[in-house]
Structure 1
Amino acid sequence: MLDKQFLIDLAHTKMPFGKYKDRYLIDLPEYYVVWYNQKGFPKGKLGDMLKQVYELKLNGLEELIRNIKKQYPKG
């Protein structure tokens, strides 16, 4: 079970490097997240978040995170 704060953090986290640097994780292209799933996710919190993004995209639940981002603005 994911905790609320993890999902709020996920909603506001941007990719820190690479081709999609500064794009919100939930807005990464699906093929890119699938590639990470096949290659292996990074270690740590970023990897945990990317794994969750993979699961959300796989199940068509991206809008859940977009709604959280609106409901809990960063500040």
Structure 2
Amino acid sequence: MKPEDLEELVTRKMPYGKYEGWLIADLPGPYLNWFARQGFPPGEIGQLLYLMHEIDHNGLSPLLEPLRERE
């Protein structure tokens, strides 16, 4: 993980699927859990989804709030 990845979570939108257009940081936990069970997609989007899943699963989502405020 790079520090820039956290900023990507609050600026990058989901490019496809049921939640297309949602910010990665706003994706619901059950959706992230589904990816965890099925497998994360390859590439950068998969890495971001994995990171967001870990943050959400461990209750750390409030740590992204200061980054949201900067946008």
Q: Is TM (by shorter chain) over 0.5?
A: yes
- Structure 2 spans left out of the alignment, 5+ residues: none
Q: Percent identity?
A: 34
Moved more, 11-20 or 39-48: 11-20
What residue number does 2:62 align with? 63
What residue number does 1:54 align with? 53
Matches within 5 A, 1:7-26: 7-26=6-25
CA RMSD, 1 decimal? 1.1
Matches within 5 A, 1:21-36: 21-36=20-35
1:8-58 deviations in Å (ceiling 9; x for gaps)? 122211111111011111111111100000000000000000000110011
Following superposition, which runs of at least 4 residues in structure 1 exceed 4 angstroms of deviation? none
- Structure 1 spans left out of the alignment, 5+ residues: none
TM-score (norm 2): 0.89
Provide the rounded CA distance (Å) in 1 between the counterparts of 2:46 and 2:53.
Answer: 10
